[in-house]
Amino acid sequence: MANDASLIMMENIPFLLKETELLRLLHLDDSFAFLDDILRLAREAEALARPKGFYVLSAVEHTGDDTVTLNDIIFTSRVLRVNLDGVYRAFPFLATCGGELELWTRSLDDPMQSFCGDALKEMALRQAIEALGAHLMGTYDTGELAMMNPGSLSDWPITEQKPLFSLFGDAAEAIGVTLSESCLMSPIKSVSGVWFPTQKGFVNCRLCRRENCPNRRTPYDSHLFESHYQ
Ligand code: SF4
């Protein structure tokens, strides 16, 4: 369980409605016939959204070739272990769009409204991640950070959510995020992972073969695992 002194909780992250970003997420432009309806819905969401999250300052110990310990909890991933070589502190984190938006979207039964609600939750989640990251970098003067997330790579499967949530202790519940038996989070627009300082940079996508992923940030590098992680 996270020690209170090492856990930074942010429960009231402001949600700023960015109309251009919303339209981009919806694949619309400002000539869309029902733009006023979309913006009315978005302002409703803006008034009630409470993105939130936390991060935990964690001591890193290297315990094996494919394992690393954060705050005495063992994680099994060759890539995470190598990424944390020479790193003595890392920052497990959890960010969410918040239960307020999640509940609100459940009341939307029109497909266009539901689509818009999902995009608004995505925006809220991104803003929570940005706010946590900015707070962390400002507080600990970390320099460049990279993140890994359980389930993004076969090397660090989604079952590793269990030790991660064990590290979080009661904090996950405090921001309304739960983990199912199959390790899926609710609200679904939540992201968990570990931030770590890096000089070389790291993006999960470079090790991920998934084709046609709409969220891909950088191309797959077929030599990277062999050259850096084996
Ligand atoms: S390509 Fe897509 S699925 Fe793979 S790590 Fe990147 S965002 Fe995740």
How close are the terminal C-alpha atoms of the chain, in Å? Answer: 32
Identify the pLDDT of residue 2.
55
In the chain, the number of structural domains is 1
Q: Residue 193 pLDDT > 60, yes or no?
A: yes
Strand ranges (E), the chain: 7-10, 52-56, 58-62, 67-70, 73-76, 89-96, 145-148, 178-179, 185-186, 190-197
Task: Express each pLDDT in 139-174 by its tens digit.
Answer: 999 999 999 999 999 999 999 999 999 999 999 999
Measured distance CA(212)–CA(207) in Å, rounded: 15
Q: From atom 5 of ligand 1, which residue's Cα is the shortest distance away?
A: 205
Categorize the per-residue pLDDT at 58 as very low, low, confident or very high, splitting at 50, 70 and 90. Answer: very high
Q: Which residues line ligand 1 (CB under 6 A)?
A: 152, 204-205, 208, 210, 213, 215-216
Measured distance CA(11)–CA(150) in Å, rounded: 23
The mean pLDDT value for 26-45 works out to: 93
Q: What is the domain extent for residue 17?
A: 4-229
Q: Residue 48 pLDDT > 60, yes or no?
A: yes
Identify the pLDDT of residue 19.
93
Cα of 196 vs centre of ligand 1, distance in Å, is 19
Identify the pLDDT of residue 143.
92
Identify the pLDDT of residue 51.
98
CATH number, residue 100: 3.40.109.40
As given in the structure block, the two tokens for residue 34 are: 């029902």
pTM: 0.94
Categorize the per-residue pLDDT at 109 as very low, low, confident or very high, splitting at 50, 70 and 90. Answer: confident
Cα of 210 vs centre of ligand 1, distance in Å, is 7
Looking from the CA of 98 toward its CB, the CA atoms found within 13 Å total 25
